[in-house]
Structure 1
Amino acid sequence: MPMVDMKEDSPATINSMQRKQALETSGVVNSEAGQHSVKPGWYREMRVFKWSWQGLSPLLIQEVQARIAVSNNERTHADLIDTVKGYRPGNWIYEWSQEAALRMMDGKRALEVADLELAKHHFLQSCLLYTVAGHPHLRGDKLANDAHLLANQAYQQAGLLLPNPLKIERVPFQGREVQCYLHLPKTDDPVPLVIMAGGGDALQTDYLRVFQDFLEPKGVALLTVDMPGIGYSAHWTLSQETSALYEAVVEHMSESPYVLADKIALMGLRIGGHAAVRTAVMMPDKVAAVAAIGAVVHDALVEPKVETRVSQMLIDEIASRLGVDSARPHLLAATLTNYSLRRQGLLGLRKINVPMLGIAHPQDLFGTVEDAKLIAQSSYGGEVHLLKRPTFASAYDAAFAKACDWITRHLT
């Protein structure tokens, strides 16, 4: 048998070494890698309600968490479970990516035997798992970026197998193009459109169920867009003009042959709600309605001690979107005050003709009830809806059900 030449400088070996040496997530945007965890034990905030609602098994989530927890490999912070260094067993991205890769292979096997429904299921599972692997999606996190790439590949594979195949829209923006996903109901006629502005911890692949459960049955299309600082929009930072990207998207989609130009609405979650509301204020003649879920538009942005109320992960996440160092959270908090839509003079001074719905949870520290009222009071036809489940996280599905029902009534 001939000898196999295992050169140390082969591309595969170099890539493996780079992965093992890649900076661990908790230190990516923090020059001092200092931590203050609100929930001791984990660096990441667990989005179990969200992941389960999207389609991941709670038992699988617990299984992967357990594999991370029992690892004896070196951690960046000995007291934070999910900070195992390098791409190896126990590392958050490694463990979730292993599961995702298995589902990807299952999907390809199902395609080989022409079981298209099963293949679609496995590809969507793979996408979800790769997306969780990249959580909280910090810019400069090489391993997370690899997971994002694979999540999108899996999503596009699944998209080919949908009843109405996924379409990709490339929107020109500031000298580049932003890749967006367009889901259309089965019809040959132009349809109303909802543009989804996701939260700061989400990729645009997170919202397929919103389309399938709430919009498609009403004959409404969904276009998903990554927020600046994440996914396909990672080239840009999230500036005070959070609506800039979405204004470009609205302009682009108003020319689409698939869409009714006078029936374009926006739905936003968390900071995406900020962007959606700001877009409506800047383009009142182009936007038909806005539903803002837990939108952060004023209160949390001007809170002087915000860094003492949130986890280090969330501080890092915000810093990543803004393109700053999270090692100085007090400076980050000072920067955020400039993002207040009240202080920008865009909310609270006058009303616009675009109907706007503010959805909030009474116990939410970020998208407060007062912020929801501010949104509604700045709109003719504005409304407020309060979520009734124990926490904002547990009301994820109820919030989308209400938002989609309200917004489709204004579109159809």
Structure 2
Amino acid sequence: MSEPEILNLSEKLFSHQRKIQETSMISNSAEPLCVSPGEQVLIEGLCSSAWYRLLRRAFWIWQGAEPIEIEEILARIANSDAKRTHDQLLDTVQGYLPGNWIYEWSQTAGQYQKLGKELERVGERRAAREAYLKATRYYSIASYPHLKGDELAEQAQLLANQAYREAGRLLKVPLKLIKVPFRGKEILGYLHLPVEDRPVPIVMVSGSIDSLQMDFYRFFKEYLKPLGIGMLSLDMPGIGYASHWPLVQDSSRLHQAVLHHIKDLPWVDSQRIGMVGFRLAGNIAARLAYLEPAHLKLAVCIGPGLNQYFMDPALFNRSPPMMRASLANRLGEDAANWANLQTQCQVFSLKRQGLVGVTRTRVPILSIGHKQDFICPESDIRTLASSSHYGKAVVMDKLPMKEVFEKALSETCDWLKLHFHL
């Protein structure tokens, strides 16, 4: 797509004359929860009574956003005097205009997208690729938390994917788009390869209910590629390219279909396919370890929602507003009916499903978590590890989160080297 075409697409997507529903109202018809005054540090990020969204600064920086630009954008949002859906929540400015979350992040993203085109035009391919990746990062943050039905966010997400593919063209081994037929539609995933002249071990990677598959490029570049491992990133059910399919008890059905499809691809070593799942995707990785022992070589579950979060109302009720809306959105429900959702979500407990803590799998499972995490308490971390004949638990208790995250990825790589026999 040429630069004028991209600019025209951006203008067309965001040129709205009618009123568009603001993000905090998506999947939540109730008044916002009363959050404790001040700030609270969660594993996901900073929960503040002044913001609807969890502010994930450390993760955004790790993924490639610039610290100064992050603060400048947040300041523009905070200082806006435009009309807000909720006066006390800074990031609820209505309409695609200055001060609106999606608008402000998209403006910076668009600048990087334009820069990428200019650099590519003069032959600076490497610099162009980095500019496209910056555009991807900011468009992705603009879309965050990526709620289905949030029209402006979905448009930012479209531009994020466009920028990611532009960057992918300029990689030494170009990005591949994998299409897997499933129930009359297609599951789309991004395949990154260290080389393409021989089959390589592959890990399927997915994140939480508020992340996109574009969020894991650095994981591939700095951790997997040096080991000669490829990465197939996939969206969770109900989000991004997988938004056609809601999150249901058979939460691993999309990944299971992909697992069966990719083992026949020429770039994939079919005997060495694993899955790395962050948060709820860790639930999926653990589930696959039980359902697909003949095809899944290993699983890594980082802070996974496994049992207690779904079964204990006290833990479930600790979810902040954005997390509630995100979960409800993936289920096609309304977060206002939170008590009913808690009952409905009990089906995601892998213990209730007769798996984790009930039987054991021969697939090696690395279970990683943090002592302060209400979504995956220490007992769940250890139970998951003991549910594999070759399991290992890693429980961390230190902060800051950037160091915790990097420690988790380092442990993951050691696990991959061990069980992929690298």
2:23 maps to which of 19, 22, 25 = 25
Partner SS state of residue 418, structure 2: helix
In 2: Cα distance, 1:221 partner to 1:135 partner:
26
Specify whether residues 220 and 19 from structure 1 end up closer, same or farther in structure 2 by C-alpha distance, changes over 3 A only: farther
Deviation string, structure 1 residues 107-162 (Cα, Å, up to 9, x no partner):
00001101001100100000000000011111100010001100000000000111
Equivalent residue, structure 2, for 1:164: 173
Task: Write the distance in 1 (CA, Å) between the matches of 2:213 and 2:178.
Answer: 13
Matched with 1:7 is: none
- How far did 1:259 drift? 0.7
Question: Which residue of the partner structure matches residue 34 of structure 2?
Answer: 36
Cα contact 1:49–1:396 (8 A) shared by 2: no
- Measure the CA separation in 2 of the matches of 1:13 and 1:258: 38
Q: Distance in 1 between matches of 2:404 and 2:73?
A: 24
Equivalent-residue separation in structure 2 for 1:17 and 1:406 (angstroms): 48
* Cα distance change, pair 14–249 in 1 and its aligned pair in 2 (3 A): closer
Alignment of structure 1 residues 36-55 onto 2, 5 Å: 36-38=34-36, 39-55=48-64
Deviation at 1:305, TM superposition (A): 2.9
Shift in CA distance, 293/255, structure 1 to aligned 2, threshold 3 Å: same
Query: Offset of 1:334 from its aligned partner?
Result: 1.2
For the 8 Å contact 1:306–1:333, the answer to whether it is kept is no
Structural mapping, 1:7-406, within 5 Å: 18=16, 21-38=19-36, 39-306=48-315, 308-390=317-399, 392=401, 395-406=404-415
Q: Deviations over 1:82-114 (max 9, x none)?
A: 000011110000000000000000000001101
Is the partner of 1:264 in helix, strand or coil?
A: strand
Give the letter aligned to residue 23 of structure 1: Q
CA RMSD of aligned residues (A): 1.7
> How far did 1:375 drift?
1.2
Identity of aligned residues (%): 39
Q: Does 363-372 or 82-91 show the bigger shift?
A: 363-372
Does the Cα contact within 8 Å between 2:206 and 2:234 map onto a contact in 1?
Answer: yes
Query: Is 2:22–2:93's contact at 8 Å kept on the other side of the alignment?
Result: yes
Structure 1 residues 200 and 394, CA gap change in structure 2 (3 angstroms)? farther
Separation in 2 of the partners of 1:274 and 1:170? 23
Query: Which residue identity does 1:194 align to in structure 2?
Result: V
> Which digits, 9 at most, give the CA deviation of each residue in 1:331-371, with x for residues without a partner?
11111111100011011122111000100111111122211
Provide the C-alpha distance between the structure 2 equivalents of 1:226 and 1:258, rounded to a whole number of angstroms.
21
Q: Runs of at least 4 residues of structure 1 off by over 6 A? A: 11-15
* Length, aligned pairs only: 402
* TM-score when normalising by structure 1: 0.94
Counterparts of 1:187 and 1:219, CA distance in 2: 11
Instruction: Give the Cα–Cα distance (whole angstroms) in 1 for the partners of residues 295 and 64 of structure 2.
Output: 34
- Mean Cα deviation higher: 142-151 or 361-370: 361-370
> Are 2:58 and 2:401, in contact at CA under 8 Å, matched by a contact in 1?
no
1:303/1:402 CA distance change after superposition, 3 Å:
same
Unmatched segments (≥5 aa) in structure 1: 1-10
Instruction: Compute the displacement of 1:12 (Å).
Output: 11
Structure 1 range deviating more: 81-90 or 388-397: 388-397
For residues 258-303 of structure 1, give each alpha carbon's deviation from its aligned partner in whole angstroms, at most 9, with x where no partner exists.
1111110000000000011101111111100001000111011111
